[in-house]
Chain A
Amino acid sequence: MHLQTVAGMSAGLAAGRYSSLELTRALLERVTRLQPELNAFISIEAEAALAAAAAADARRAAGERNPLLGVPIAHKDIFCATGSRTSCGSKMLANFVSPYDATVVAKLRTAGVVSLGKTNMDEFAMGSSNETSHFGPVRNPWDLTRVPGGSSGGSAAAVAARLVPAATATDTGGSIRQPAALCGVTGLKPTYGRVSRYGMIAFASSLDQGGIITTTAEDAALLLGAMAGFDPQDSTSVELPVPDYAASLDQPLAGLKIGLLKEFFEQGLDPAIETQIRAALQLLQQQGALLREVSLPNLPLSVPTYYVVAPAECSSNLARFDGVRYGHRCENPRDLTDLYKRSRGEGFGTEVKRRIMTGTYVLSAGYYDAYYLKAQRVRQLIADDFRRAFTEVDVLIGPTTPTVAFELGSKSEDPVTMYLNDIYTIGANLAGLPAMSIPCGFASSLPAGLQIIGPHFSEQKLLNVAHRYQRETDWHTRVPERYR
């Protein structure tokens, strides 16, 4: 049962082959049994899941026919869910029980989705290896000595090990696509504003976007349809109708103009990954797509731009954690300043402190123009590069990551080495573009990811390309041996 996709489970439930309760029990057993080796979850919520499954079965018995009704998934622990501990991977929120639902959680609840619990993540989504979590690192199902990527490492590992067919995730600089690539699963980061950020704990508000990790593009289409849409509770949510993402999955690719991102192939790319990317491009060409090389000259500046903009926004967003209204509070504060300083010093981990410090520095008097304004101007240049590229091509394709999954602990000493992992993914966040990562083969026995980036609100096109590719290949169906 656990090897099925969301669409497969949906069909199984509709045909009465099993109930949501049976399915939920079967998956919960795996989630619980495999937790000690993968650490993919922060909270396993068996009782609530079984109650939701029973409720879904009752809704089905009453005649309801929603395709997601009774399908079990998991939520990244950045999404607030009523009555659930929502820790964001931090000691700061280790005891925070959310009094409300994030819009994403509420929408999926309404659709009848059953949540099995909350997945592990880098603390406050700051990290590319899931090693900054207060709850310990997640292990990559393909090799337990390696990282799953981050920050949505728990969601990616849970889907890769088929603990759940799908898990929600968020992407600020690559946090959906990079772990999806390293774990050999499908990750979709929608256009900025497409999915509500309400109740999704903020890291960098001009970059954060909620999305989904699944095994197939078809499942990503199903789930995005249920998650997306205008939300008056999020002032950056976009007032556009939600298309039927599943309807256009099969469209032929004849005449599709693909831009090959020159800058992504220039330096630091593992040659074994490049081989897989070139093979994938050839396959798309055989389906009638047209290939041309495209240059985005400012793209190499995306990492330094991001590491000004994201920490600046993080330092201001995380000012809310003051030890007064919620979150960790230090013992015996001398005065209010001591309360703030020690609560924050004890509640935040090293990487979060590093980003708050960086953000505070680049926003401080005397440095604001040189760093923050400068980065915002370079951000505009990068966005312009993408705008120009999309006047010539329909989608841009390249690798998702420069390397395959690395060993646990191998990059945690130097932050800059870690930051450079996001070199291919950050551009889409800076420009607010939708992007996907899909499995495209293996390099040194570990999964490689193909990245597809499109213009604003082109999720249908990305899903279409990904689906057509997945019809011709079976990389997305590969499961590590011990989890089959």
Chain B
Amino acid sequence: MSTLSRADIENIAHLARLALTENEVPAQLNSLSRIIGLVGELEKAATAGVEPMSHPLPGLAARLREDCVTESDHHRLYQRNAPQVEAGLYLVPRVIE
């Protein structure tokens, strides 16, 4: 379908919010090109009029529940795994200067 360039890899990494090191860029370029070659085989399949399949069980869709409160407050417990919290809030670098 298409060949990938170094700039493509850098763009995809940006979209995926992944910092790649200098060494990782050529390695990812090489392996992604191989993978894109592999999945390019799909072109051969005749799929005109075939419905895309997103759920493995036919006729079943994700279930909905009543719109009501089911959770109680566990923020202290959950925030034990957080890298940085203060006063019950998650801390991130300043967003608005």
Contacts and interface: CB of A to CB of B under 8 A. Distances in A.
A364 to B, nearest CB: 6
Question: Which of the four size classes fits the interface of chain A?
Answer: 35 or more
A232 interface: yes
A388 interface: no
B47 to A, nearest CB: 4
B42 interface: yes
A81 interface: no
Nearest to A377: B47
B14 to A, nearest CB: 8
Nearest to B57: A432
B95 interface: yes
Nearest to A360: B16
Contacts of B41: 301, 304
Nearest to B19: A345
Contact of A380 (B18, B35, B52): B52
Given A99-B74, A336-B92, A345-B19, A350 B51 contact: no
A431 B52 CA distance: 13
A253 interface: no
Contact of B38 (A298, A304, A340, A383): A304
Contacts of A324: 82-83, 90, 92
Given A304-B38, A344-B19, A381-B45, A430 B56 contact: yes
A245 to B, nearest CB: 20
Interface in B1-59: 1, 8-9, 12-21, 24, 27-28, 31-32, 34-45, 47, 50-58
Contacts of B32: 354, 357-358, 361
B50 to A, nearest CB: 4
B60 interface: yes
A192 interface: yes
Contacts of A340: 17
A381 B51 CA distance: 9
A321 to B, nearest CB: 10
A301 B63 CA distance: 31
A419 B77 contact: no
B93 interface: yes
Contacts of B72: none
Nearest to A351: B31
A59 to B, nearest CB: 27
Nearest to B11: A364
Interface string A107-119: 0000000000000
A288 interface: no
A305 B15 CA distance: 23
B17 to A, nearest CB: 4
A235 B62 contact: yes
Q: What 7 A-B pairs come out closest when comparing CB atoms?
A: A432-B56, A345-B19, A376-B52, A329-B83, A377-B47, A326-B81, A380-B53
Given A206-B54, A305-B42, 15 more contacts: A236-B55, A301-B42, A324-B82, A325-B82, A326-B82, A326-B83, A344-B16, A354-B35, A371-B39, A373-B52, A374-B45, A377-B47, A379-B53, A381-B47, A414-B31
Interface of B: 1, 8-9, 12-21, 24, 27-28, 31-32, 34-45, 47, 50-58, 60, 62-65, 74, 77-78, 80-84, 90, 92-95
